Amino acid sequence: MRNFYLTLVIVALSISTAQAESLRVSSPDGEITFALSFNPRSEPVYTVHYGSEAVVRESRLGLRFSHQAPLDQALEIIGNQRRQANGQWEQPWGERRWVTDRHNELLVQLQSTDGQARRIDLRVRVFDDGLGFRYEVPEQAAYGQVNILDEITEFHLPGESTAWWIPGRRYNRYEYLYREGKLTEVETAHTPFTVRTPAGTYLSLHEAALVDYAAYVLDQRRDNVLQTNLTPWSDGVRVRTRTPFKSPWRTIQISPDAVGLANSDLILNLNEPNRLGDVSWVEPGKYVGIWWSLHRATETWGSGPRHGATTGNTLRYMDFAARHGFDGVLVEGWNIGWDGDWFHNGSLFRFTEPYPDFDIEAVAAHARKRGVRLVGHHETSGDVSNYESQMSASFDLYRRMGVRQVKTGYVADGGDIKRRGENGHWRHEWHDGQFMVNHYLRNVQEAARHQISINTHEPIKDTGLRRTYPNWIAREGARGQEYNAWGDPPNPPEHVPLLAFTRMLSGPMDFTPGIFDLQFEREGEQRVIESTLARQLALYVVIYSPIQMAADFPEHYEARPDAFKFITDVPADWEQSIALAGEPGDFVAFARQARGGGDWYIGAVTDEQKRELNLPLDFLEEGVSYTAEIYRDGPDAHFREQPYDIVIEQRVVSRGDSMALTLAPGGGAAVRLVPLSD
Amino acid sequence: MRNFYLTLVIVALSISTAQAESLRVSSPDGEITFALSFNPRSEPVYTVHYGSEAVVRESRLGLRFSHQAPLDQALEIIGNQRRQANGQWEQPWGERRWVTDRHNELLVQLQSTDGQARRIDLRVRVFDDGLGFRYEVPEQAAYGQVNILDEITEFHLPGESTAWWIPGRRYNRYEYLYREGKLTEVETAHTPFTVRTPAGTYLSLHEAALVDYAAYVLDQRRDNVLQTNLTPWSDGVRVRTRTPFKSPWRTIQISPDAVGLANSDLILNLNEPNRLGDVSWVEPGKYVGIWWSLHRATETWGSGPRHGATTGNTLRYMDFAARHGFDGVLVEGWNIGWDGDWFHNGSLFRFTEPYPDFDIEAVAAHARKRGVRLVGHHETSGDVSNYESQMSASFDLYRRMGVRQVKTGYVADGGDIKRRGENGHWRHEWHDGQFMVNHYLRNVQEAARHQISINTHEPIKDTGLRRTYPNWIAREGARGQEYNAWGDPPNPPEHVPLLAFTRMLSGPMDFTPGIFDLQFEREGEQRVIESTLARQLALYVVIYSPIQMAADFPEHYEARPDAFKFITDVPADWEQSIALAGEPGDFVAFARQARGGGDWYIGAVTDEQKRELNLPLDFLEEGVSYTAEIYRDGPDAHFREQPYDIVIEQRVVSRGDSMALTLAPGGGAAVRLVPLSD
């Protein structure tokens, strides 16, 4: 009889709000207002208004514990503090050099009404592009060691909203196709979780600064009411900690249009500044490597006649990289462990033992000679105990070999990350639980001690920790290019315009673009990558990552020097980035300015629909003319029929002009804008 | 990179099966075969074949614990035992008097290969209509007290199967609209979970004999692989027990057609016999009561001018019941606690304190005089501690008042069942967790001591325990009639043909049929019940329950004596029941023979489509003629436009004849077949 009684309650609650004590804090521009009050059961609740629109209706807050009284009810406000911030900070690398942090802060101090002086604080920061709030539980009697059993943060969103999401599916990983649907169709969802309200406002729910806590998935508990579901430890406890502690920030990005979400710096602003000091050893750049051949199954990770990671093969890639100005060469399958059934069987992996046909010393010497670097690889297959026992030694080896970046992998089904428990028995953890949240960061911190940067695959979601640990240089965390080699189905054309407004809101993604051979046979099966050639170039601008791979085989690039030129030109580090236009799942266009240089780049992609874009170039410098090197879909281009139909042309443009681009079905466009020196 | 590696594994596994040791057990008719073997990691796996069709592909088995080594890997078979059963047993009440139990049993004894002699057994029973298996963990060193952290029973079903289900939605209750879709669309699901394979075989996954264990929801962990997700305690532990213990039976009903599932006795056969001895005090029958008026909001649960549960109102219903041969009168809102905001606030309820305007003694005296019984009501709103502290006293009171049945209620959102924890703090449990599984049964056992039967609303799923505890007479556990009073949307016409092949496979449902006033205003809103009048009669035969309510107001029945006659004629207890025809969500037709009598009844309902049925009457007794009293939709009947268009007519029929019935959109037909005495 659920719905019926629910109605009663909602009525009761909304009556109450008027009466209850209420504290408010608004954004500097006054558009966004967060209000805290209490429902009739003296449970703390909050609302968020954007202008006159209630984008979050009355929603509950609080924590529940295994041994202590819950901190989600019988509370009252005993004090509050306010702060304002307005400043800028510099990124060592990133989508923009300077980030503006302008917000109003409210700290609400709550205490139990039962006389036991139980305390919990709520810190709220409201920016012009959204807000974040977090729980801060002060040190207090009876709350030393605590097990958090549940966090009941709710997000009561407007009915009839449209959502874009991937399922949270019992905390499994993020490699799903994104869905578009009515908010009420959502059962569970990972974040970033993006919605458009009936009023046309765009929201994205996520979290920032996830440290020593469990990540959450969103559960739809009642129609339009999403609740944080913290990923548990294998024994069911959600978080083990001790007071004083802080939760991660619960974030809500708010914008009148979709591109506003993509231009928001909210997540970074809610993270702590760089803790690593001089990070000049963190090197953005482009790389090639022994990777796509493994997914196309022309070479193997394991040893044998088709082994990919051989000395000779690696030297060939290094020479290619040096010839074309790439910084690194990734080699997967170089170390003992890949033979046999290694899935969920990561104890096989030896992270300091190369296969006999991979002479790591010779490879490293050749790299030094050619001025490139070996990019390291650690696949754990989810056996974290095995990896941690070798982690320090494996980074020592790589550092000696001049390696500056390591790609890690955690290929395992949800709940099958393995560790040895206290009693020596296996424990099966989730990628998103507190144990793994801490492991991923331990891995990044240990790497930092060796001046190595980490590119995590099958990662924990990005919550902006790259600001605090700039050597966490990229991660996967979505369906990447490899799904185009063997995925069923491959990534559809709408996938990238969906990523841009969901996964990409959290941070850089190692998508590995740049496939030129778009239709091929794999183990007897005909594969079609649902992309035109021009689109593969556009991805270097559309999908932000400080490390960009040119994923295809050297011979495929050398067969298309005209198109390849864009990949060798485009940088991976930026002075500025602007999301110009787009809608989730339809299309998206970005402009980015090279870090330190005057060159601008434009990238645009569409879904399976042909699309005409007309992009105003008002970001260009006043009074400067630019040569536009345009790589666009040809008149007959189509992601299935004619992927290779590309037009490469030049024009002179300047500020005030517009760039008209025609994107073919499954297509895209890439543009380089070079200032004309006069 | 999930799918890719998955492919590798599946290949690996299927190679392995051939090699691995394998034990098989088949159904008595030889059609169904269960086989146990091991995958390359010496994890036990099973398959199920129906004829030549692999209806369950290689699927994992096992349990994991908080302190002991897991029992899901490194196991070997050290012995096995076989048994056969072929018999009949009698139900004190039910859809049929005699139930046939014919099966082959295999007990497989497994032991760890690590020399520590850890033991787990698997008991498998294969019937002609499906199978069940359960874990039996013997008493053994180091496994005294155990916390089960996970059960990883998998059901790897055929790809491209069609599924009918309600979401498991973080273990919330069962009051959802059923969905039909591709198996891969399922995220989580409650059971019974029904699928049709591409070969046209129908399967239903469920469980039997759920005692002192957690219920499970199904998670789709990989495409087409469903896994048991045991509902946790509030602290995350799934099950607290000690060896020796048995899990509930994991059941798979298998049939070449949909009606075969509805005719299966598998769930009852896997439960223990009656433990209550003489249960002549368990009284199937029909009832009316003060209920629909509360949902139509013409009367209130709470006290005040529109209070429904007044002495006078109750006497009026009792006189009506006596006049028309009903056995009971349900009264909701009779006890203190309904005033104010009681949702999630069940501590308000006093189960022995009537409202001043409800003279329970006078009501009980009048009931005795008129030969009817008061039907009791206990709404807990999820505060189980409050209810348990009053349970015994409340049953004492009811027994003194001659009450033989109590309807219980647990209206609370998932995870908000409240109990006082050891330390006095609130604990928030799930309806389906071990705590509630045990509470629901404690409630039934305590009621039995008072010779009272229980009709549980917001219940734990039915797993056939009515065989062991025949006073667990019915329950809700799906969207019932009340959703037609206020549900948004109301139950669509396909709802009942969906219930028949999902929820109803688990046992009786107190749906409360028989609404005659099908279009009305509720609090200013026009409501339309998506049903014809004839369909409301059909529900008494289609939806099995040993207690059937005539839910509408007395005046609405007395305005339609012709149609009302069927409700007064139809029994609630049966000698035989036969699902004649149907498809999930389309239509369904049942024939049932009155317990002890020669009368047969037919009920048929359709979805929003008009449908012609032609039902062979070969269940009738040879050489006997029957008067068929037919209540069918009129030529213009339609669930929205003309719900009241009904034709009531008589014919003489006998075995060998067919009954042609035309069901209107949203319609149905009800037939009584009376032997002609010659």
Burial (CB count <10 Å: 0-12, 13-18, 19+), residue A136: middle
Contact B233 A237 (CB under 8 A): no
Q: Which of B9, B64, B67 sits opposite A423 (nearest CB)?
A: B67
Q: What is the pLDDT of residues B630-646, one digit of tens each?
A: 999 999 999 999 999 99
Q: What angle do CA B234, A249, A66 make, to 5 degrees?
A: 20
Contact A234 B150 (CB under 8 A): yes
**Contact residues, chain A, for B457 at CB < 8 Å:** 1
The rounded distance, in Å, linking the Cα atoms of B364 and B329 is 11
Is it true that A274-477 and A495-551+563-678 share their CATH fold? yes
Beta strands in B113-256 (DSSP E): 119-127, 130-137, 145-151, 154-156, 162-165, 179-182, 188-189, 193-196, 202-208, 216-222, 225-230, 239-242, 245-246, 249-255
CB pairs under 8 A between A and B: 145
Is the interface score ipTM higher than 0.90?
Answer: no
Structure confidence at residue A678 (pLDDT): 59
Query: Dihedral angle at the C-alpha atoms of B512, B513, B515, B521, nearest 10 degrees?
Result: 50
By C-alpha distance, the chain B residue nearest A173 is B2
Whole-angstrom CA distances from A63 to A44, A105, A292, A526 are 11, 22, 46, 52
Q: What is the pLDDT of residues A489-529, one digit of tens each?
A: 999 999 999 999 999 999 999 999 999 999 999 999 999 99
Contact B3 A426 (CB under 8 A): no
Is the pLDDT confidence value at A158 over 70? yes
Global pTM value: 0.92
pLDDT, mean of residues A599-624 = 98
Three-state helix/strand/coil letters over A616-643: ECCCCCCCCEEEEEEEEECCCCECCCEC
Q: What is the pLDDT of residues B513-563, one digit of tens each?
A: 999 999 999 999 999 999 999 999 999 999 999 999 999 999 999 999 999
Contact A187 B173 (CB under 8 A): no
Q: Which of A167, A170, A343 sits opposite B9 (nearest CB)?
A: A343
Is the pLDDT confidence value at A20 over 80? no
In chain B, where the domains are located: 5-269, 274-477, 495-551+563-678
Q: Which of B234, B411, B483 sits opposite A5 (nearest CB)?
A: B411
Residue A337 is encoded by which pair of tokens? 């462990």
Structure confidence at residue B678 (pLDDT): 59
**Contact residues, chain A, for B5 at CB < 8 Å:** 343, 411
- Min Cα–Cα distance to chain B from A9, Å: 7
Q: In the structure, what pLDDT confidence band is assigned to residue B5 with cuts at 50, 70 and 90?
A: very low
**Contact residues, chain A, for B231 at CB < 8 Å:** none
User: Are the beta carbons of A91 and A80 closer than 8 angstroms?
Assistant: no
Q: What is the CATH number of domain B5-269?
A: 2.70.98.10
Contact B172 A221 (CB under 8 A): yes
**Contact residues, chain A, for B221 at CB < 8 Å:** 169-170, 172, 413-414
Structure confidence at residue B627 (pLDDT): 98
Burial (CB count <10 Å: 0-12, 13-18, 19+), residue A77: middle
The catalytically annotated residue of B458, B482, B530, B575 is: B482
Q: Which of B6, B40, B426 sits opposite A70 (nearest CB)?
A: B426
The rounded distance, in Å, linking the Cα atoms of B50 and B161 is 15
Residue B307 is encoded by which pair of tokens? 């209070």
What fold is seen in the domain A274-477?
A: TIM Barrel (3.20.20)
Is the pLDDT confidence value at A16 over 90? no
Structure confidence at residue A455 (pLDDT): 98
The rounded distance, in Å, linking the Cα atoms of A104 and A133 is 12
Structure confidence at residue B21 (pLDDT): 61
The rounded distance, in Å, linking the Cα atoms of B180 and A434 is 36
User: Are the beta carbons of B584 and B518 closer than 8 angstroms?
Assistant: no
pLDDT, mean of residues A346-353 = 94
Q: Per this entry, what is the length of chain B?
A: 678
Whole-angstrom CA distances from B391 to A454, A485, B275, B451 are 60, 63, 21, 14
Give CATH superfamily name and number for A495-551+563-678.
Answer: Aldolase class I (3.20.20.70)
SS3 A378: strand
Lowest mean pLDDT among A19-28, B10-19, B514-523: B10-19
Structure confidence at residue A314 (pLDDT): 98
The rounded distance, in Å, linking the Cα atoms of B527 and B408 is 27
**Contact residues, chain A, for B229 at CB < 8 Å:** 170
- Min Cα–Cα distance to chain B from A5, Å: 7
CA A78 to chain centre: 38
Long-range contacts from A98-101, C-beta under 8 angstroms, 24+ separation: A99/A265, A99/A268, A99/A269, A100/A265, A101/A127, A101/A265, A101/A269
**Contact residues, chain A, for B6 at CB < 8 Å:** 343
Structure confidence at residue B170 (pLDDT): 72
The rounded distance, in Å, linking the Cα atoms of A230 and B161 is 32
Q: Which of B188, B343, B487 sits opposite A9 (nearest CB)?
A: B343
Residue that has been written with the tokens 């389309």 in this structure: B586
Chosen for mutation from A240, A291, A341, A456 (greatest number of chain B CBs closer than 10 Å) is A341
pLDDT, mean of residues B321-328 = 98
User: Are the beta carbons of A552 and A516 closer than 8 angstroms?
Assistant: yes
Q: At how many degrees (to 10) do helices B561-569 and B533-542 cross?
A: 0
Three-state helix/strand/coil letters over B244-261: CEECCEEEEEEECCHHHH
Is the pLDDT confidence value at A15 over 50? no
Q: What is the pLDDT of residues B576-608, one digit of tens each?
A: 999 999 999 999 999 999 999 889 999 999 999
Structure confidence at residue A7 (pLDDT): 32
Chosen for mutation from A4, A153, A483 (greatest number of chain B CBs closer than 10 Å) is A4
